[in-house]
Amino acid sequence: MTALFVIAQEYRAAAETLADLDLDDQTIADTLEGMAGDLEVKSEAVALFVHGLDAMAQAVKAREGELRQRRDSIERRAESLREYLSRTLKACGISKIERPGVVIGFRKSSAVVINEPGLIPVEYMRQPEMPPPSADKKAIADAIKAGKDVPGAHIEERKSLSIK
């Protein structure tokens, strides 16, 4: 099967060649119409493939959300069981259990606890970095459409492919 870009190149080449020949308009139109059939059939196949890919991407996106919720649920359940095990072992005075498949025990650790955040001296405080400003494209578009000059921006007319 011939690739779409090859068919398009052949169509353009034929249109240019026919334009250079001394043929009547009907002959040129009939010739190009015959060639356009192949172009349309191949374009339809590509568009249907795009539809399939779009549907697959949407299905993957939906599944990502479901999997994220499932992961979160599993992580919460594991943390809950970890806390349950810890409380139970502490209540029984057990500090270590060694089994063939697992070793359970407590290790010493330390953590800073902030009782009153307002009393912490400034040299021990962190300031989060502010995100850099970003252009408000809607406001810029509205301003340009209203006749205002916005340095560094312009509206560009484009054509985007629509597959329905």
- Cα distances from 74 to residues 65, 87, 101, 104, 143, in angstroms, run 14, 20, 21, 20, 49
On whether residue 49 sits in a domain, the answer given is yes
- 3-state helix/strand/coil string of the chain: CCCHHHHHHHHHHHHHHHHHCCCCHHHHHHHHHHHHHHHHHHHHHHHHHHHHHHHHHHHHHHHHHHHHHHHHHHHHHHHHHHHHHHHHHHHHCCCEEEECCEEEECCCCCCCCCCCHHHCCHHHCCCCCCCCCCCCHHHHHHHHHCCCCCCCCCCCCCCCCCCC
* Residue 39 domain boundaries: 4-107
pLDDT value for 33: 73
On whether residue 28 sits in a domain, the answer given is yes
CA-based R_g, the chain, Å: 34
On whether residue 34 sits in a domain, the answer given is yes
On whether residue 101 sits in a domain, the answer given is yes
On whether residue 115 sits in a domain, the answer given is no
Pick 9 or 152 by higher pLDDT. Answer: 152
Average pLDDT, the chain: 86
Give the range among 39-48, 64-73, 80-89, 132-141 with minimum mean pLDDT: 39-48
Domain total in the chain: 1
pTM over the 0.75 mark: no
pLDDT value for 160: 77
Q: Which residues pair with 89 in a beta bridge?
A: none
As a whole number, mean pLDDT of residues 74-91 equals 94
On whether residue 12 sits in a domain, the answer given is yes
pLDDT of residue 1 exceeding 60 = no
